[in-house]
Structure 1
């Protein structure tokens, strides 16, 4: 039997899965970690502990519990949150914590300066994306200006996945899908690094070598084998961002397929027929050469449900808190008895790209219950999701099918509210393991154990969430949009 190993580093948890060539799972493991918020608007991970430490722990656990001979593992693939920004020295050692993706808004001034200097239209034309809190280029410029002593020691700028691959193989690489988030340093037409838009950010020699996600980056070194328990010489793919691996895990492969990932954030990927250029959403080459993807993401989703549980349901055991809260919310009608929540607790990413946006709960009176508030929270996330799907529709990019994945798919209330509010049916596949399962498939693909079409047999559809129209949602959605517009100036002043 031939096996592949997939490991994914998420915002709050690392997951790994060992799979045979038929897609059957032989072992799984998970390990939790925290997102650090050293200052408002910042978000960080500790790369040694949260990325590499988790990878080592999860790989060792899977090997121990499966009893599989490491030599039978034919390939390894990893994914991680992204795009992140991590400076490392010549030995590959981190020089600071990893700066996370769009939930970290520390480089707002650099985003504004580069956008004004280069021109937004030029950036979109050349890089495929407007500069936002998701962009790595401005964060590198922030590093240069605010941590010059670290910048001076920097040999390479890595992201989370490339850090793992470097630890496993010694190779400094990055996949094109991730690299497209390094605007304004990546040219989508040439699919290569560029410094002709801004040559004062970082030398291109400090950026990783570009590969496609189905390419082998290198082999596991003797040192990495000693730490992880994996066999030396095992091929390792270039990897990718977790959301892309998650999309592939449920069969998002053909044009028109869309993934809705219910995780710490809502993340959406559409396999597009061609490149779409619009400042409200993101673009990247897909995992394979010659293919395209359009993306969008909220800033806080599952993170918000965890915050609510911890702050407003301390009376509930953690293992049963979410089902209890969902049951309470089910007793509240659509529209949450007149409550509206803006879910912008870490600013917001697409489509408004407002790092100053704030969370808000509006419409409270003395009759409201915890269930009403939790329902308003779920609906607020779903209204933010509808704002995204409407943006795709305006661009002529409505999905032909939508596949849901992630831990949030266990929340039936959230799933149904999202379908009802967006008006889109959702398919839930048999396995909702997520990105690590997609990694295992991509590893198998890279070494020829499977073809792309085999993902349908690995993870067939199991359930369809059918959208049910409710006028209350249309009314509340219109008010939701107005509430943001009428309070955004107040939110900015509060932030100042």
Structure 2
């Protein structure tokens, strides 16, 4: 039996999956590491913690009962996007990594917009947001010049871990797309962007495909993990790109709905010239010469967990949602907007806040619960709506995360998206996508699609109900008015918030 390892380097923990040729998980292991918020809006981690945790997790799966470590052929990675790791000319870390959820860089984002103008969207295909990498680079140069002057090259989180395993410096296109320095359509580092901010070409690592072979394990790493020094290491991809691969989003018409704490709508795209005007993200896919468009809801599953904590703290989710399927679409005229922590798509607004609209004396808690579920799904549908307006086909949606755990919510997604919605038999997310890249890189399959046929299994399928589709289409247009109608009030209310 042959195996591959998928390493998913998340924000709070690293997870490793050991998978065999049939797509069965033979072993898995997780290790956590600390997150540091030393100042308001700061979010940092120690890259060494990632390495230590990854080696421990790899060792655990390689030594699992019944596993021959010598039969592990390849390793690939999924990683948290955007995080800045600076290395000196000796390959040593210059300062702690600044993460994707660090928001200290608003000033630098405005600078990027001013300097690049229209080139920002035409080249990088994405707006300047605090989470991206270039603003972090500019912040370090402005505020920590002595440290910046030591930096010879930058990496993203998973790329640093892979560097420590192989001694080789690379970055894949899907993760590079989140730096604001990549010509996304051209698949090269943008000379226009680098020259505009006086960054040398050598500051950026060599680019490679996500399934590209980038080396084998260093002898000391092989010894520490129990793996063979000849184990092949493949580049891997950004967490969202790998999540798409792990859900089989590998052809036009397929879209991913992921409802975790935040929510993501991600749709496959093969047209590199597709223009969404920066209203949704546009990144390189982990599949070669493919792309994806992506919208984000900041408080998706978080909205439901907030509702439970506040109004049903002693009940399970199943108890709280019992009977929700009996409430008709529209929650008896009650509407919720999930702006608890601001919003990302299509309104990049940190000040907007959530609303219940249309409350009357007939409403019970179950109406509010369903309205929260509908509001989260309406927010995700903002992205679906923009995809379709740009000419994309969205006819099949793979739903994962919390939204895939409740049949009523799956049907609700089918009705609001007006598309077939399917759940997965075994949801493993980005870690599965990383394992699939390793399997494809090792030559087990002729394509990622062939690998998905073996590794990704659909479960239940939900078709849109025409009557509910009509109801939700009307209600969605009302939902879209709430942001503009409440923006000024929420801006004024910021002065009263703790």
Cα shift at 1:407: 5.2
1:243 touches 1:261 (CA, 8 Å); kept in 2? Answer: no
2:275 touches 2:390 (CA, 8 Å); kept in 1? Answer: no
Correspondence 1:486 to 2:482: no
Cα shift at 1:117: 2.5
Correspondence 1:81 to 2:80: yes
State the distance in 1 between where 2:305 and 2:227 align.
34
State the distance in 1 between where 2:248 and 2:460 align.
14
Correspondence 1:191 to 2:187: yes
State the distance in 2 between where 1:307 and 1:224 align.
43
Moved more, 235-244 or 400-409: 400-409
Cα shift at 1:148: 3.6
Three-state SS of the structure 1 residue aligned to 2:267 is strand
State the distance in 1 between where 2:405 and 2:55 align.
28
Deviations for 1:231-263, whole angstroms, at most 9, x for unmatched residues? 323111111111211211232222332222233
- The equivalent of 1:433 in structure 2 is 428
State the distance in 2 between where 1:348 and 1:486 align.
15
Three-state SS of the structure 2 residue aligned to 1:74 is strand
Three-state SS of the structure 2 residue aligned to 1:196 is helix
Deviations for 1:201-253, whole angstroms, at most 9, x for unmatched residues? 64332222211001012222233334444332311111111121121123222
Correspondence 1:16 to 2:11: no
1:111 touches 1:138 (CA, 8 Å); kept in 2? Answer: yes
State the distance in 2 between where 1:249 and 1:352 align.
28
Three-state SS of the structure 1 residue aligned to 2:64 is helix
Instruction: Pick the aligned partner of 1:463 from 449, 460, 465.
Output: 460
Correspondence 1:173 to 2:170: yes
Q: Unaligned regions of 5+ residues in structure 2, if any?
A: none
Cα shift at 1:56: 3.1
State the distance in 1 between where 2:308 and 2:52 align.
28
Instruction: Pick the aligned partner of 1:203 from 200, 206, 212.
Output: 200
Three-state SS of the structure 2 residue aligned to 1:344 is coil
- The equivalent of 2:2 in structure 1 is 2
State the distance in 2 between where 1:274 and 1:88 align.
35
Q: 1:7 to 1:391 in 2, by over 3 A?
A: same
Moved more, 435-444 or 65-74: 65-74
2:70 touches 2:228 (CA, 8 Å); kept in 1? Answer: yes
Instruction: Pick the aligned partner of 1:107 from 105, 108, 116.
Output: 105
1:26 touches 1:66 (CA, 8 Å); kept in 2? Answer: no
State the distance in 2 between where 1:178 and 1:440 align.
17
Moved more, 206-215 or 357-366: 357-366
Correspondence 1:132 to 2:112: no
Q: Unaligned regions of 5+ residues in structure 1, if any?
A: none
Correspondence 1:60 to 2:59: yes
1:213 touches 1:288 (CA, 8 Å); kept in 2? Answer: yes
- The equivalent of 1:117 in structure 2 is 115
The CA RMSD over aligned residues, in Å, is 2.9
- The equivalent of 1:240 in structure 2 is 237
- The equivalent of 1:255 in structure 2 is 252
Q: What is the aligned length?
A: 487
- The equivalent of 1:217 in structure 2 is 214
2:440 touches 2:451 (CA, 8 Å); kept in 1? Answer: no
2:63 touches 2:69 (CA, 8 Å); kept in 1? Answer: no
TM-score, normalised to structure 2, is: 0.87
Correspondence 1:162 to 2:162: no
Q: 1:38 to 1:482 in 2, by over 3 A?
A: farther
State the distance in 1 between where 2:397 and 2:22 align.
24
Cα shift at 1:190: 3.6
Instruction: Pick the aligned partner of 2:148 from 141, 146, 151.
Output: 151
TM-score, normalised to structure 1, is: 0.87
Cα shift at 1:166: 1.8
Moved more, 383-392 or 134-143: 134-143
1:246 touches 1:405 (CA, 8 Å); kept in 2? Answer: no
1:335 touches 1:376 (CA, 8 Å); kept in 2? Answer: yes
2:436 touches 2:451 (CA, 8 Å); kept in 1? Answer: no
State the distance in 2 between where 1:41 and 1:382 align.
28
State the distance in 2 between where 1:152 and 1:193 align.
21
State the distance in 1 between where 2:487 and 2:38 align.
24
Correspondence 1:300 to 2:299: yes
Cα shift at 1:449: 1.6
**Greater C-alpha Rg:** 2
1:44-55 equivalences under 5 Å are: 44-45=44-45, 47-49=47-49, 51-55=50-54
Correspondence 1:334 to 2:347: no
Three-state SS of the structure 2 residue aligned to 1:327 is coil
1:331 touches 1:371 (CA, 8 Å); kept in 2? Answer: no
Three-state SS of the structure 2 residue aligned to 1:95 is coil
State the distance in 2 between where 1:368 and 1:86 align.
51
Q: 1:113 to 1:383 in 2, by over 3 A?
A: same
Q: 1:146 to 1:398 in 2, by over 3 A?
A: farther
State the distance in 1 between where 2:367 and 2:86 align.
45
